[in-house]
Structure 1
Amino acid sequence: MKPGGQMLRVLAAAGLVSVLAGCENSATSYMIEGSQHALTLVREQKFFWHDELRQAVVVSRLPACQKRVRIHPGPTVLVEMRVYAAGDALWALHQGSRWYLVGTEACQLQDWDNPSNQPPGALLGSFVLKDGAPAFVPAPAAN
C-alpha cells in the first residue's frame, strides 16, 4: 500500500458516513391495539440532496395481515399527518391537501377524494416532528 493510502480510505469512509447521516429513514406508529394492530408512517430519503422523501404506511393487524403501501412523496420536513376515526376498523389520514382511507380488516389503503375536506370522525392524533424526529402525538382527550 502506498504511504497515505490508508489515511485516504479512512477520510473517504468518514466522508461517506457524514453524507449518509443527512438522510432521513424513519418509522413511527399509531398503536391501535398494541403493536400488533397499528398504522406506521415510514419516510425514506435515499440521498441527502433529494428534496422529496418516499413515504409509505404500513397497515398491520397481526397475525391476519400486514401490508406496506406507498403514498405520495413528502418534503424533507415532515408535513403533519392527522389520523381520524372513520368507522369500524377504518381510519382517515390527512396530510397537506391529500386524504387517504385505511382499513385494517383487509390491510388496505387508498387515496380518498374528500370534496368537503371535512374529517369523517374524531381526531385521534397526528404524526408530527417532536424534538426533531417524527413521532405520533395523541390528540388531547375530550373533556
Structure 2
Amino acid sequence: MSRNKRHLLRAGLIATLALSLSGCLYDRAMYVIEGRDHYIGVSRDQNWFWQDTVNIDLIAHRMPDCVEALRIENVPRRAAIELYYPPQEYVEPIHIAELNQAYYAISTASCRIQRFARKPDDLGRHVGSFKELPDGRFDFIAAK
C-alpha cells in the first residue's frame, strides 16, 4: 500500500471516529431542595449521534446520607419530565415526576424512586420541568 493511500485511510478512520463521537450526549439538571447537597436531578445520555432517544436517570440526592437513581431507557430526546409536589398523604414526603404518562415517586428522605402502577389521583402543585431548551441545553425550568 502506498504512503498516500495509508494517509488517506488513516484520515478517513479518524474522521469516522470523530463523527461517531460527535453526537454523544451527557447532561444533567437539578431541582435544588436545600443547598447543593439536597436535590432531585435528571441526567440524560445518548451514545450515538443518529439516535433520537436518550437514557434518563432520575436521581434522589441528599448527602451525606444517600443517593439513588432509577434508569429509564429509550426516552424521546425532547421529552420533558414534569415535577410535582403532591399533598403529603404519603408515608414520607415525596415529589412526583411525570415522563411520557408514566409517574414516579421520588423521596429524598429515604432516597427511593419507584414507578406508580397508575396515575396518582392528585399530582399536587406543579414545581417545574426538566427539558431541553431551544439552544440544546438541558435544564430545570421552575413553574411560574
Question: Is residue 2:127 matched to residue 1:124?
Answer: yes
Q: Is the 8 A contact 2:95 2:105 kept in 1?
A: yes
Cα distance in 2, alignment partners of residues 59 and 116 from structure 1: 20
Q: What does the per-residue CA deviation read over 1:3-62, in whole Å, with 9 as the maximum and x for residues that have no partner? A: 133453243223212222123222111111122011111111222333432211121000
Structure 2 length normalisation: TM-score? 0.82
User: TM-score w.r.t. structure 1 length?
Assistant: 0.82
Q: Shift in Å at residue 96 of structure 1?
A: 1.8
- 2:138 maps to which residue? 134
Seen in structure 2, the aligned counterparts of structure 1 residues 108 and 33 have a Cα distance that, compared at 3 Å, is same
Q: Distance in 2 between matches of 1:32 and 1:116?
A: 22
Distance in 1 of aligned mates of 2:109 and 2:2:
62
CA distance in 2, matches of 1:12, 1:118: 55
Question: Which structure 1 residue ranges, 5 or more long, are not aligned?
Answer: none
Provide Cα deviations, 1:58-78, integer angstroms capped at 9, x if missing partner.
210000001222125301x32
Structure 2: gaps spanning 5 or more residues: none
Cα distance change on mapping 1:14 and 1:117 into 2, 3 Å: farther
Tell me the CA shift for residue 126 of structure 1: 0.4
Aligned residue in 2 for 1:83: 83
Distance in 1 (alpha carbons) for counterparts of 2:136 and 2:52: 17
C-alpha spacing 1:116/1:27, structure 2 compared with 1 (3 Å): closer
CA RMSD of aligned residues (A): 2.2
